């Protein structure tokens, strides 16, 4: 890409009657050069802020004509580099397209623009007694478009699953500017290839999402949160399996280990955490349509937890108590990454293999002299594992950080898992994709990419190796 390609696009973008907001100054572009894990050292040519599908289409038509790479972007809260531009690219920020267009109680759907904040959508539908279940860790700042583009997971997937099953339809703009509508306000279809679900999780490489039809559920109005301390990680994961084996399905079963608690408390001394010294704690949330059913689940949980090594869990009833536990959980990643250089993995395995996965992470880290902290979605078998540089010398770190990830991903796949549970591949995991997928699968994916984006202009160099 030569910058002049982008200049030609920019020269034409302003010529219409309605100007699209454009930022080209270094200071204006800087916030758009990174996500929560990856920072680009190459400046993008410009950030564009379309307000309508028509404007997105106009931009993509010009991008295709002048061969300018484009990366669509929500809040930039991703952690795989999926929304980070390369040199001379256009960043298509969808933050001005943030309307909740409809919440339809009869069809139990919401129709939203991609820049709407996921937490705001949850609030808007709750006001009508409806429920959008997914809760990514960054729910209060991430956008629904980013969630759809990465098939974001989060803290309620044990019972409700991730973003994908809630996406019923899309409006999207193809690389050449053509607008397509996929799916609709219906719960089932058997009408050809499922383009909606192909675009979900495609990380901006196939199309730019401009409208989303979301499936809603009835709102579970009652919930209780428990925090159960365990003497070991093994005991904790044993409890997770025991709870699910007894056919209790809580939305949330989160692993909060001591290392993670320590780093949160070190940065936020005003947070009080009831079991700072226990090896690991399990955050459990139970929900339901009425109080008796929630209380029944909590009563059934008690003997299971006791049997598995946690006789005295804390039960949080009040919203403020619950909020405190959740905010500690949601603060874990920020506090770990504040400890210095790190590499992170987002492995997922069959949940019965979780203890093995935790051991594999510790073993891989130890072999390279790295401190390892794992936390995450125990009920989903989805672990976020951080290998920290600590006091390792810079030159050892460079090779150790690559080797440790490769070894850990290979062990993940041997355990029957895969290399991203919920964060996506982006640029960070791209080199490791062949560990998880066969050559045949990658070839098919390349063919799909080519069919959607023949000039390789939509987020090129992401996802596929
Ligand atoms: C979390 C995000 C990082 O679970 O996925 O904290
Ligand atoms: Zn997570």
Whether the Cβ atoms of residue 92 and residue 56 lie closer than 8 Å to each other: yes
Contacts of 189 (CB under 8 A, 6+ apart): 183
- In what order do the strands lie in the sheet containing 100-104? 100-104, 109-112, 208-215, 167-173, 179-183
Residue 17 has pLDDT above 70, yes or no: no
Distance (Å, rounded) from C-alpha 133 to C-alpha 157? 8
Per-residue pLDDT tens for 313-364? Answer: 999 988 898 998 888 898 999 999 998 999 999 999 999 999 899 999 999 9
Query: Which one of 142, 335, 376 would you pick to mutate in the ligand 1 pocket, going by the greatest count of ligand atoms within 8 A of its CB?
Result: 376
> 136 C-alpha vs ligand 1 centroid, how far in Å?
7
Q: What pLDDT score does 2 carry?
A: 64
pLDDT band at 16 (very low <50, low <70, confident <90, very high): low
Burial class (CB in 10 A: 0-12, 13-18, 19+), 391: exposed
Q: What pLDDT score does 1 carry?
A: 59
Q: What is the mean pLDDT of the chain?
A: 96
Block residue for tokens 């490769």: 406
Q: Is 333 in the pocket of ligand 1 (CB under 6 A)?
A: yes
Q: What pLDDT score does 294 carry?
A: 96
pLDDT band at 156 (very low <50, low <70, confident <90, very high): very high
- Which atom in ligand 1 lies closest to the alpha carbon of residue 333? 6
> 17 C-alpha vs ligand 2 centroid, how far in Å?
44
Q: What is the pTM of this model?
A: 0.97
Per-residue pLDDT tens for 361-416? Answer: 999 999 999 999 999 999 999 999 999 999 999 999 999 999 999 999 999 999 99
Q: In Å, what is the CA distance from 85 to each residue of 5, 44, 204, 325?
A: 15, 6, 11, 36
Whether the Cβ atoms of residue 403 and residue 411 lie closer than 8 Å to each other: no
Q: What percent of the chain has pLDDT over 70?
A: 99
Whether the Cβ atoms of residue 290 and residue 362 lie closer than 8 Å to each other: no
Per-residue pLDDT tens for 445-460? Answer: 999 999 999 999 999 9
> 382 C-alpha vs ligand 1 centroid, how far in Å?
10
Residue 268 has pLDDT above 90, yes or no: no
181-185 long-range contacts, CB within 8 A, separation 24+: 183/213, 184/213, 185/104, 185/107, 185/109, 185/111, 185/213
Q: Is 137 in the pocket of ligand 1 (CB under 6 A)?
A: yes
Q: What pLDDT score does 263 carry?
A: 87
Q: Taking the CB of residue 462, how many other CB atoms lie within 10 A of it?
A: 23
Q: Which of 136, 139, 138 is nearest to 156 (CA)?
A: 136
Closest ligand to the CA of 79: 1
Whether the Cβ atoms of residue 347 and residue 355 lie closer than 8 Å to each other: no
Q: What pLDDT score does 15 carry?
A: 60
Q: What is the DSSP string of 71-138?
A: EEESSS--SSSTT---TTPEEEE-TT---EEEEETTTTEEEE-TTSBHHHHHHHHHTTTEE-----TT
Q: Is 122 in the pocket of ligand 1 (CB under 6 A)?
A: no
Q: Taking the CB of residue 197, how many other CB atoms lie within 10 A of it?
A: 16
Residue 141 has pLDDT above 80, yes or no: yes
Per-residue pLDDT tens for 85-122? Answer: 999 999 999 999 999 999 999 999 999 999 999 999 99
Block residue for tokens 């009080």: 272
No. of H helices and E strands in the chain?
16, 18
């Amino acid at each position: 890409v030569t910058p002049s390609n982008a200049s030609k696009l920019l020269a034409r973008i302003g010529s219409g009657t309605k100007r699209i907001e454009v930022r080209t100054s270094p200071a204006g572009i800087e916030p758009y050069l990174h996500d929560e894990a990856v920072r680009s050292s190459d400046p993008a040519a410009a950030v564009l802020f379309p307000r309508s599908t028509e404007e997105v289409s106009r931009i993509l038509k010009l991008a295709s004509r002048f061969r300018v790479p484009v990366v669509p972007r929500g809040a930039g809260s991703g952690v795989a580099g999926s929304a980070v531009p390369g040199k001379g690219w256009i960043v298509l920020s969808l933050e001005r397209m943030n309307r909740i267009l409809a919440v339809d109680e009869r069809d139990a759907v919401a129709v939203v623009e991609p820049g709407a904040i996921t937490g705001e959508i949850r609030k808007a539908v709750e006001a009508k007694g409806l429920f959008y279940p997914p809760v990514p860790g960054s729910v209060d700042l991430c956008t629904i478009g980013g969630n759809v583009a990465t098939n974001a997971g989060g803290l309620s997937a044990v019972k409700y699953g991730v973003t994908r099953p809630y996406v019923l339809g899309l409006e999207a703009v193809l690389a050449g500017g053509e607008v397509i509508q996929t799916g609709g306000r219906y719960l089932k279809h058997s009408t050809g290839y499922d383009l909606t679900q192909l675009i979900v999780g495609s990380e901006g490489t196939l199309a730019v999402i401009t409208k989303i039809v979301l499936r809603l559920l009835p709102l579970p109005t009652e919930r209780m949160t428990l925090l159960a301390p365990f003497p070991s990680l093994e005991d904790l994961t044993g409890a997770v399996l025991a709870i699910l084996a007894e056919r209790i399905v809580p939305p949330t079963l989160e692993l909060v280990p001591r290392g993670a608690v320590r780093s949160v408390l070190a940065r936020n001394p005003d947070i009080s955490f009831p079991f700072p010294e226990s090896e690991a704690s399990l955050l459990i949330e139970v929900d339901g349509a009425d109080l008796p059913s929630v209380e029944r689940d909590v009563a059934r949980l008690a003997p299971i937890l006791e049997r598995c090594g946690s006789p005295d869990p804390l039960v949080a009833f009040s919203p403020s108590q619950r909020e405190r536990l959740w905010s500690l959980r949601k603060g874990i990643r920020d506090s770990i990454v504040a400890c210095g250089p790190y590499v992170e993995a987002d492995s997922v395995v069959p949940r019965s293999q979780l203890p093995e996965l935790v051991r594999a992470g510790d073993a891989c880290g130890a072999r390279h002299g790295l401190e390892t902290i794992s936390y995450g979605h125990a009920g989903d078998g989805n672990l976020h594992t951080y290998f920290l540089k600590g006091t390792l010398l810079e030159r050892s770190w460079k090779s150790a950080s690559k080797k440790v990830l490769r070894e850990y991903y290979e062990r993940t796949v041997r355990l029957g898992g895969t290399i991203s549970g919920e964060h996506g591949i982006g640029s960070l995991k791209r080199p490791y994709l062949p560990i998880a997928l066969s050559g045949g699968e990658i070839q098919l994916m390349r063919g799909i990419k080519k069919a959607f984006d023949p000039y390789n202009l939509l987020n090129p160099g992401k996802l596929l190796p």
